[in-house]
């Protein structure tokens, strides 16, 4: 559910909200969420100095939790899986009593995680619900659609 103070959810059908949400969708695959959040926040506060919920942490929450556009959801999940795979990778080999042992359950989980990562990379978002890139519709958890 959209936060009461999420400016990007509240004003997503306004021109500035449409522009900023479109920026998120367009750049989510090539920029970090932190960088997007800073740039969106800076631009939003430049145009709406008194905007509540325009701080980078609120923008980041909007990107990670509110936006339902498949390109954004897949990018967020992909980043989470990559972080998880990195964590798992550090625990694949154990040194116990001078012996090197492969942690089989972690290795299996790591391979499943890698498989999910590869699946996300191959995802075709063109037919997914909430995605209509030709008309530029962006949908958030609030359920509002905005044409750009």
pLDDT at 76 over 50: yes
- From first CA to last CA, the distance across the chain in angstroms is 23
Closest CA to 40 of 61, 69, 70: 61
- Please tell me the predicted confidence (pLDDT) of residue 118: 96
- Residue 20 or 137, more confident: 20
CA separation, residue 10 to residues 51, 75, 138 (Å): 11, 23, 13
3-state secondary structure of 37: helix
Question: pLDDT tens across 28-54, in order?
Answer: 999 999 999 999 999 999 999 999 989
- For β-strands 138-139 and 93-96, DSSP reports them as unpaired
pLDDT at 8 over 60: yes
- Please tell me the predicted confidence (pLDDT) of residue 3: 45
């Amino acid at each position: 559910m959209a936060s009461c103070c999420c400016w990007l959810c509240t004003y997503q059908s306004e021109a500035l909200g449409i522009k900023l949400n479109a920026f998120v969708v367009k750049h989510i695959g090539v920029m970090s969420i932190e960088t997007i959040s800073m740039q969106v926040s800076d631009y939003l506060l430049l145009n709406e100095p008194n905007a509540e919920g325009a701080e980078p942490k609120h923008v980041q929450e909007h990107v990670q939790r509110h936006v339902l556009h498949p390109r954004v959801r897949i990018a967020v999940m992909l980043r989470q899986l990559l972080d998880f795979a990195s964590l798992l990778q550090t625990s694949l080999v154990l040194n116990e009593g001078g012996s090197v042992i492969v942690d089989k359950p972690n290795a299996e989980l790591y391979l499943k995680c890698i498989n999910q990562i590869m699946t996300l990379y191959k995802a075709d978002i063109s037919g997914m619900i909430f995605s209509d890139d030709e008309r530029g519709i962006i949908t958030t958890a609030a359920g509002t659609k905005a044409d750009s």
